[in-house]
A and B are shown apart, each in its own frame.
Chain A
Amino acid sequence: KAGVTQTPRYLIKTRGQQVTLSCSPISGHRSVSWYQQTPGQGLQFLFEYFSETQRNKGNFPGRFSGRQFSNSRSEMNVSTLELGDSALYLCASSLGGPSTDTQYFGPGTRLTVL
């Protein structure tokens, strides 16, 4: 069974631009979560989707948004990029949700904002 895939793996953007990251979950998994990982803040929860519905959202500004499609693939978007948005963005999928079911993480997308 294929694992969680994230595209692209690396991105370089400049301040003010916007970016879209993509995540394809493991086949059959309906829950997709997104996390931001930085050296200073560690792993921070962005949002979780299940069957196209956002069930929870972390404490991030409105510039961060996401969605999930009917095939469970998910995208996250960051608008008006800031230098502080430079981070590794991790996507994770699970059958029913991250709190009880095992989450499988993708390799991440490394975003650099110049």
Chain B
Amino acid sequence: AQSVTQLGSHVSVSEGALVLLRCNYSSSVPPYLFWYVQYPNQGLQLLLKYTSAATLVKGINGFEAEFKKSETSFHLTKPSAHMSDAAEYFCAVSMSGGSNYKLTFGKGTLLTVNP
């Protein structure tokens, strides 16, 4: 079984500040991990994914995430927030090897960026 916990349903930062969105996972097998972003009235867009290669993964729009097996975490960071980063962010997990053909999503974290 797999699950994802996103700590903090709402995170607020100032423009230019560090963005840190937390994600912890539970998986009985080595996981694949993903971060998606959803802008209002749109579908989800992949930011980055970890599939057992480098533990530090760089994504689009300046985001990156680090896979830490010992902490079962995959936190998303961005050094400097921009107003356009305001959106909802979802962490997701699947089984490595892709044999379960599904993603399990966290509840999401709404990011607000203040001017």
Contacts and interface: CB of A to CB of B under 8 A. Distances in A.
Interface of A: 4, 31, 33, 35, 42-45, 48, 50, 55-56, 58, 90, 92, 96-108
B94 to A, nearest CB: 4
B102 A42 contact: no
B98 interface: yes
Contacts of B108: 42-43
Nearest to A110: B41
A101 B103 CA distance: 11
A96 to B, nearest CB: 7
Interface in B94-115: 94-95, 97-108
Nearest to B103: A98
A98 B102 contact: yes
A97 B98 CA distance: 7
B49 interface: yes
Contacts of A108: 43
Contacts of B102: 33, 45, 48, 56, 58, 98-99
28 contacts: A33-B102, A33-B103, A42-B90, A42-B105, A42-B106, A42-B107, A42-B108, A43-B44, A43-B105, A43-B108, A44-B105, A45-B103, A45-B105, A48-B102, A56-B100, A92-B43, A92-B44, A97-B98, A97-B101, A98-B103, A99-B32, A99-B100, A99-B102, A100-B32, A100-B51, A100-B98, A105-B43, A105-B45
A98 to B, nearest CB: 5
A100 B49 CA distance: 9
Contacts of A58: 102
B43 A106 contact: yes
B43 to A, nearest CB: 3
Given A90-B43, A107-B43, A108-B43, A102 B49 contact: yes
B42 interface: yes
B95 A105 contact: no
Contacts of A101: 98
A61 B23 CA distance: 29
A79 B100 CA distance: 26
